[in-house]
Each structure stands twice: as structure tokens, then as C-alpha cells.
Amino acid sequence: MKSLLLILIGSVIFGSTANAGMFSRSSAPSSCRGKSVPRGKCAVLYDDADCAGWQHVVPVGYSELSVMRRNDAESLIVRPGCKFVGYDHDNKKSVVKRGDSVTVNAWNDDLPKAKNLTGKKELEERISSAQCNCRTFSAEQCPSSATVPRS
Ligand SMILES: [Ca+2]
Ligand SMILES: [Ca+2]
């Protein structure tokens, strides 16, 4: 009877650990917690997954990444009320010439959206330019910085 109880407790602990692992993978990347989109800005790109390495602040509107930063970003956070579209190529005038795109949409969110870019389809280490727009405010009107919650 006692050994059965131990097995039961063991499986409960194991089960909850497995769930916690799944949860952290499907929710915001853990090390993005506490990271902020600065006042007046739309999003922040990071060198590595989970908001690690260099960071590049993305303004509202169209912008291009510097030679050092393009084809290198692997995660990002987007201000709530904004939508980020990253493109494979850069071209100020033609959206078509920007090639493949990845969208991270926080348009209807109350909190910043954090995402790891995974694989070719999500333009992992491929983003060269970005179009970032916000719902209710221009760059000048962006409120204070927006922070990913720690829990
Ligand atoms: Ca990188
Ligand atoms: Ca590219």
C-alpha cells in the first residue's frame, strides 16, 4: 500500500514537471520576461533565442537593419497594440521585393508579445527589414516603455 502511494506521488511530480516544460515552450520565452520595448518604439529584435545577445530597437514604420544585424535576429518582443512584419530583403518602395515575411501580431494584446523565430518559415536569421505599425498612436504618442511580465 505504501509503495503504491510512493508511485502515485512520483507520477504526480513527474507529470507536473513535464507539464511545466511544455508550458514554458508554448508561452513567452522565459528570458524575455522583464524585457521592455522603449518609449516611442514598436518592437525589439534580439540576436539569439529567448531575447539574448544584441538588441535592435525597431521604430514605428518601415526600417532596415544594419549590415551587422541583418540575417541574424532570432527572437523579438512587440509592443501591445502593434504589429511587426519582418522581411527577408529590404526595399523601401516595394513590399513584393522584400520577399518572404514573418508577422508577430500584438495588435489586440494588453501585454508585449515575445516570440522565438524558429526555422526558415519564421525567417530565423533572415530578417533584413521591418514594417512595424501601431493601432492607436504614432511614434510620438507611444506611451511609456512596455515590459514583458516576469511571471
Ligand atoms: Ca543570431
Ligand atoms: Ca535576409
Cell numbers that stand for 52 in this block? 539574448
CA of 50 to the centre of ligand 1 (A): 11
DSSP string spanning 69-121? TTT---EEEE-TTEEEEEESS--SS-SGGG-SEEEEE-TT-SS-EEEE--SGG
Closest ligand to Cα 54: 1
CA of 83 to the centre of ligand 2 (A): 19
- The pTM score is 0.75
Alpha-carbon distance of 145 to 21, in angstroms, equals 30
Q: pLDDT digit string (tens) for 32-55?
A: 999 999 998 999 999 999 999 999
Closest CA to 74 of 96, 94, 56: 56
47: enclosing H helix or E strand: strand 43-48
Domains parsed from the chain with CATH numbers: 31-147 (2.60.20.10)
CA of 130 to the centre of ligand 2 (A): 11
CA of 34 to the centre of ligand 1 (A): 20
CA of 73 to the centre of ligand 1 (A): 5
Q: pLDDT digit string (tens) for 99-142?
A: 999 999 999 999 999 999 999 999 999 999 999 999 875 555 55
